[in-house]
Amino acid sequence: MSDGQKVINEHLLEISGVTVEYNVQGQKFAAISDINLSIEKGETLGLVGESGCGKSTMGTAIIQLPSPTSGSVKFAGQELTDMSHAEMRPIRKRLQIIFQDPISSLNPRRRVRNIVAEPLAISGVRKKDEIDYKVREALNAVGMDPDITMDRRPHQFSGGQCQRICIARALILEPDLIVCDEPVSSLDVSVQAQILNLLEDMKERYGLTLLFISHDLAVVKNISDRVAVMYLGRICEIAKSEDIYSEPAHPYTAGLMSTIPEIGDKRASRIPALQGEIPSPLSPPSGCKFRSRCPSTQEKCSEIEPDLRELKSGHKVACHFPLLDS
């Protein structure tokens, strides 16, 4: 194995048994439960599922905002869940997040130069010349002219331009991992393509690792190396992108795939569309959480919750009766 291969196969992030619980009206429920996954250095992992399944909670748990209720989050070999706020500060330089709504995530009263520079100030950079240089460099990298952009405020830009500013802010500390939480869902389709291309370019230029969260499988398809599918707070399938799109093993994944329109696609005739709504996390079904919507549920599904198991190399599914045989 070459040195290059060793780098590619290095786990930058390892998540084990992560659970995040909340109290709602005196009742405790798990927004995500017993999550186990890893992200390799230099890859893009897509995290998909319907709204309310726990994707964003997973993203914020990774960057410890807040820390998970239980479980382990290791970043570059360091356990994050035991760290104090002061101990996390240097780690946060290497972990950044891009939020769903670019306009609401930017302070409307601040100029772009101050918005993009904010992470530098938090991390202790004080020299004005250094800050100005880095802000200009970050804005140039995302295709925004600093001379035109720096002294304007967010309301003077389009949604796509605001998201470019958010990406510049995330890049300015030269992070290793960026959590992209629905970064294009509020943008027009044509602008979505521009931002996705920009993220791909930034990944190649800076050697970034991305966790790309989205409810839209069509968006995730081309940007991700691997895809993890979440349902009601749990991972139900994870595989290489090409495998999960061509051969989904979980009925939920297959149902999501049926919503992607493709010319000449024969899957629509053999894969049933998703029925019904996601059950409330306050009162989830017994056994398999998907059984209340599954077209092929059996008695075992109501009695035992399936573990995430490997069907073939790199392809795991949590289903008693997967669509693919091992």
Encode pLDDT of 163-197 as tens digits: 999 999 999 999 999 999 999 988 888 899 999 99
% pLDDT > 70, the chain: 93
Q: Report yes or no on 151 lying in a domain.
A: no
The predicted pLDDT at position 26 comes to 85
Q: Report yes or no on 292 lying in a domain.
A: yes
- How much is the pTM? 0.90
Q: Report yes or no on 31 lying in a domain.
A: yes
Note down the domain range covering 231: 3-88+208-317
Q: Report yes or no on 55 lying in a domain.
A: yes
Q: Report yes or no on 212 lying in a domain.
A: yes
Q: Report yes or no on 43 lying in a domain.
A: yes
pLDDT digits (tens, 9 = 90+) for 103-146: 889 999 999 999 999 999 888 888 999 999 999 999 999 999 99
CATH of the domain at 82: 3.40.50.300
Strand, coil or helix: 185: coil
Q: Report yes or no on 122 lying in a domain.
A: no
Q: 155: which DSSP letter? A: G
Is 248's pLDDT higher than 50?
A: yes
pLDDT digits (tens, 9 = 90+) for 74-87: 999 999 999 998 89
The predicted pLDDT at position 123 comes to 87
Please count the structural domains in the chain.
1
pLDDT digits (tens, 9 = 90+) for 260-287: 766 555 544 455 678 888 898 888 999 9
Residue 23 β-bridge partners: 28
The predicted pLDDT at position 2 comes to 37
CB 13 within 8 A of CB 61: no
Q: Report yes or no on 168 lying in a domain.
A: no
Residues with Cβ within 8 Å of 1's Cβ and at least 6 positions away in sequence, in order, are none
The backbone torsions φ and ψ at residue 295, rounded to the nearest 5 degrees and listed phi first, read -75, -15
The predicted pLDDT at position 262 comes to 63
Angle between helices 159-171 and 189-206 (to 10 degrees): 20
More confident residue, 281 or 14: 14
